[in-house]
Structure 1
Amino acid sequence: MDSTATSDHDAGGIGRRQLLSAVGGSAVAAALAGCSTLLSDGESADQGGQSGDGISDEPIQAGLLTFTRGAPGVLGIQAQRGAELAVQRINEQGGIGGQREIELDVVNEGSNALDSYNQFIEEGKEVTFGPISSGTHSQIAPEVEKNEVINVGTDGTVTTLYEETVPDPTYSFRFQNYDIMEVVTMAREAVERIGADNISTVAGVNPGYSFGEDEMQVFTQAIQQLTDAEIVYEGFPELGASDMSNHITSINNEEPDVTFSSLWGGDVTTFVRQANANNMFENTTVFGTTLYSAAGDVPGDALAGTDIYSGSRNYYWGLPALGNWQPGRELFDAATQQEGVTVPTAHYMSGYGAVTAWATAVEKAIDLLGTYPSQEQIAQVLEGHGFFTPAGYHNMAEDHQGASNSFAGQMVYDDDLGAARLDDVNTYAATETAPPPGVTGSDWLESWSA
């Protein structure tokens, strides 16, 4: 799989001029790419039309909607810390256009997420980021279009967001790889690890709301295109469920070749602990899209003796290898010094990447216009915008959906890290995991040839 996705690895040897051309030519863009040392020849942020003309020094008021506490906070705090580091790096370079620093207001997503989003708009925020929840994203995306203020989603990865909820978006964008991409990654990973001929029965244990239901539906369609598998069990525990024994008992009774799961955060620890105690891993191999979201939460004894493969959406901190890739190493070091981050997960990059997508697009617009752009102009630049982060190269497709490489490997506990890591990681290019713009996920899956 690694040979199909070379952009992340190739970025390690990219030339300075090529990098700055790709990201907009600014110190902010280079810093966000993790390559600020490339500017050591004395060039300043005031380049490429980014003088003070037409740009005020008013701070940019930004809002981030994320989970800051409770079980969902395992994901949300990662996104928050990633966004905060990106903002810090921007401000250290003098701000957007060398003049406008960012003030980031972080609000807990909670149960009144739409009210919190509307409060951002009433306060005059110039850009918003988030949310984590698919349900919240489906709520706020139509409001984003109505308010005409850019929102770059960190997560909220429901497949139908840009197929049905806002099928022709202007101001709503999403950085994170969405459901179909991470699910197809794990369907391909199951075939890669076990072999299509060895997968005849499949079970699923997924969160009991739109995200989990969506992921199970997509996995069913994908795995049945790749194999002759029969679905023998589907379970949908509520978020935060303390007892998953009925699902584990059903899996033990069926002994499926593959168990698919999109459990995340604290639910991963509950499920893995109880499954291990009931010898479930002797009867099935687990493939999950977001199990690694609990990397810093799931204890070593819970993972001992398990057979679990997890995806890591569009970022895994160990690739490219930290010893070879300075931007990744510097990001890892910075992240692990932040409160609440044991190791940075894909949700860390969702916060970092969402801010980076927006900031580099604004910088590119300033290069083109010589002044600060309007919301509509930023949106126009964001469509089809390519940019770097320490995770490599990303593209915001014309349908407003971010497209990046995906990662998957065996989830094991690392005593030195005090957290889980992924072993023997495979990399999947976006062309393997996502439909082309304008094609629905369902139609694309149906179009696969045998």
Structure 2
Amino acid sequence: MTTGPTTAADSGGIDRRTLLKTVGGSALAVALAGCTELLEDGEDSLADADVPDEPIESGLQTFTEGAPSVLGVQAQYGAETAVRRINENGGIAGREMNLDVVEEGGAYLTNYQQFVDEGKDVTFGPISSSGHAEMVPEIEAQEVINVSTDGTVTTLYEEDFPDVTYSFRFQNHDVMEALAAVMQAVEVLGADSIDTYAGINPNYAFGQDEMDLFSRGIEALTGAEEVYSGFPDLGTGDMSTHITEVNGEAPDVVFSSCWGGDATLLLEQGHANGMFDAVDLLVGPVLYGSANDLSEDLVDGPIYSGSRNFYWGEPSTDQWSPAADLVSEVEDEYGVVPTAHFMSGYGAVTAWATAAEKAVSLLGRWPEQEELATVLENHGFFTPAGYHTIGADHQGYSNAHFGELTWSDDHDAAALSDVNVFAAKNVSPPPGETSADWIGSW
């Protein structure tokens, strides 16, 4: 099942006219979209632009060590890949780009301030939702654009900081993957077969936000009753108590936004304690983020996972070759299969880079921070994941993906099959409406 409007990718590739209209047809835009051949632009509007000679300096903060690095290193690989493609294809309006990567840990504000003090032109990250919320006021005060790779708590731009200038987010926010999980559960089991549900989610802003949104959505579509909701601490060493509670209730659906090492632990202890015999379905919006750490035996069961705004097998690579090209490039360079968090880093860099080149084309010179921020609003661009927009609310919007967790012998890693693609408009509220009010109106 694929929802949403048909695109050029659905019918055999990027349409030249669409691409030129959307991102200006520049070599940079096409290279970042992952095309194997560069399109020719009839008139190079950048040739006479007033652009500095020195490289663009950028900084990324992400998790490079410990359990969260399962996601964070993927974001690093994605950002590095985008920067490499930028530099191999003439830079941004002729300027090469440098990228410094630091461990985010708990030093979100310190890292951002360090980047600003070093004169960075743009910053990217973090992964953490709570860290991103801490950063937004400082970003607005310092007036240096930050495009967050993740930090996806839904209330960030809807309620907490609804009027920002320099803070942006590329990745789909929590409501989009939580509601994709709801729709996936209904697709697999049928609304009439879902009477009860439970949740096991990490005990901080992200996990609490996702469970709240899933609960609102599943109750609106099915009338199901929540029979258990547990919140293990992030990085816990034992989930058996929560699994025992779930087994005792035997709900139709279990929702879990556990990620990284917690996702692996949930699957290990879930199998060991018979959870997949007790429940009809586990839906986990970020389980696939641990694809390279999962073993074949762990993906066996009624398990469906989301992959946020990117899955390399969807659309089919015979229709959308950039995804296939990217997987090969990543496997050759890093020895892993790219996950949605790879696209977090890749997409954040691409959003800024294509907006910067568009701004130069419009202005005939390198833009100031506020000018570039204005261009980033309502900016559309392609990556190997397809088409993306940054809305007027500074939130990124892309298709959401969900599929059955399975195993790929070709890649020796976890994979998704029977992937459903949910258009952004079907899993996120319309402009000016909060997610809670929108779901309440269903």
Matched with 1:400 is 394
Kindly indicate whether the alpha-carbon contact (under 8 Å) linking 1:206 and 1:235 is maintained by their aligned counterparts in 2. Answer: yes
Match of 2:70 among 68, 74, 77: 74
C-alpha displacement at 1:111, in angstroms?
2.0
Give CA-to-partner distance per residue, 1:45-73, whole Å, 9 cap, x none.
Answer: xx532125410111111010100111100
Mapping for residues 291-310 of structure 1, pairs under 5 Å = 291-304=287-300, 306-310=301-305
- Aligned equivalents of 1:16, 1:382: Cα separation in 2: 22
The CA RMSD over aligned residues, in Å, is 1.5
SS of corresponding position for 2:333: coil
Corresponding position: 1:417 with 2:375: no
Kindly indicate whether the alpha-carbon contact (under 8 Å) linking 1:7 and 1:392 is maintained by their aligned counterparts in 2. Answer: no
Kindly indicate whether the alpha-carbon contact (under 8 Å) linking 1:27 and 1:36 is maintained by their aligned counterparts in 2. Answer: no
Give CA-to-partner distance per residue, 1:164-221, whole Å, 9 cap, x none.
Answer: 3321011111110000010011001111110111111111000111110111011111
Match of 2:284 among 285, 288, 294: 288
Kindly indicate whether the alpha-carbon contact (under 8 Å) linking 2:61 and 2:103 is maintained by their aligned counterparts in 1. Answer: yes
SS of corresponding position for 1:337: helix
Matched with 2:106 is 111
Kindly indicate whether the alpha-carbon contact (under 8 Å) linking 1:96 and 1:359 is maintained by their aligned counterparts in 2. Answer: yes
State the AA in 1 paired with 2:312.
W
State the AA in 1 paired with 2:33.
A
SS of corresponding position for 2:159: coil
- Aligned equivalents of 1:256, 1:8: Cα separation in 2: 41
- Aligned equivalents of 1:276, 1:14: Cα separation in 2: 43
Kindly indicate whether the alpha-carbon contact (under 8 Å) linking 1:286 and 1:309 is maintained by their aligned counterparts in 2. Answer: yes
Match of 2:242 among 247, 253, 260: 247
Q: Give the gaps of 5 or more residues in structure 1.
A: none
Corresponding position: 1:233 with 2:228: yes
Mapping for residues 87-102 of structure 1, pairs under 5 Å = 87-98=83-94, 100-102=95-97
C-alpha displacement at 1:11, in angstroms?
7.0
SS of corresponding position for 1:399: coil
- Aligned equivalents of 1:68, 1:114: Cα separation in 2: 17
Corresponding position: 1:357 with 2:351: yes
Matched with 2:201 is 206
Matched with 2:10 is 10
State the AA in 2 paired with 1:60.
I
C-alpha displacement at 1:5, in angstroms?
4.5
Kindly indicate whether the alpha-carbon contact (under 8 Å) linking 2:13 and 2:319 is maintained by their aligned counterparts in 1. Answer: no
Kindly indicate whether the alpha-carbon contact (under 8 Å) linking 1:20 and 1:29 is maintained by their aligned counterparts in 2. Answer: no
Kindly indicate whether the alpha-carbon contact (under 8 Å) linking 2:28 and 2:91 is maintained by their aligned counterparts in 1. Answer: yes
Match of 2:137 among 120, 136, 142: 142
Matched with 2:321 is 326
C-alpha displacement at 1:327, in angstroms?
1.1
Matched with 2:341 is 347
- Aligned equivalents of 2:290, 2:361: Cα separation in 1: 40
- Aligned equivalents of 1:165, 1:335: Cα separation in 2: 36
SS of corresponding position for 1:37: coil
- Aligned equivalents of 1:345, 1:300: Cα separation in 2: 17
Match of 1:389 among 383, 393, 400: 383
Match of 1:183 among 174, 178, 186: 178
C-alpha displacement at 1:302, in angstroms?
2.0
SS of corresponding position for 1:427: strand
Corresponding position: 1:123 with 2:118: yes
Matched with 1:380 is 374
State the AA in 2 paired with 1:425.
V
Corresponding position: 1:278 with 2:262: no
- Aligned equivalents of 1:169, 1:12: Cα separation in 2: 38
Matched with 1:194 is 189
SS of corresponding position for 1:158: coil
Matched with 1:439 is 433
SS of corresponding position for 1:4: coil
State the AA in 1 paired with 2:100.
D
Corresponding position: 1:267 with 2:262: yes
C-alpha displacement at 1:338, in angstroms?
2.8
Give CA-to-partner distance per residue, 1:339-362, whole Å, 9 cap, x none.
Answer: 3x5211110111101111111111
Q: Percent identical across equivalent pairs?
A: 57
State the AA in 2 paired with 1:216.
M
Corresponding position: 1:369 with 2:360: no
C-alpha displacement at 1:9, in angstroms?
3.1
Quick one: structure 1 residues 273 and 432, their matched pair in 2 at CA, closer, same or farther if it must change by over 3 Å?
same
- Aligned equivalents of 1:230, 1:388: Cα separation in 2: 40
Kindly indicate whether the alpha-carbon contact (under 8 Å) linking 1:204 and 1:259 is maintained by their aligned counterparts in 2. Answer: yes
C-alpha displacement at 1:300, in angstroms?
1.1
Give CA-to-partner distance per residue, 1:372-397, whole Å, 9 cap, x none.
Answer: 11111111111111111111111111
SS of corresponding position for 2:228: strand
Kindly indicate whether the alpha-carbon contact (under 8 Å) linking 1:287 and 1:309 is maintained by their aligned counterparts in 2. Answer: yes
SS of corresponding position for 2:293: coil
How many correspondences in the alignment?
441
- Aligned equivalents of 1:252, 1:112: Cα separation in 2: 39
State the AA in 2 paired with 1:30.
V
SS of corresponding position for 2:217: helix
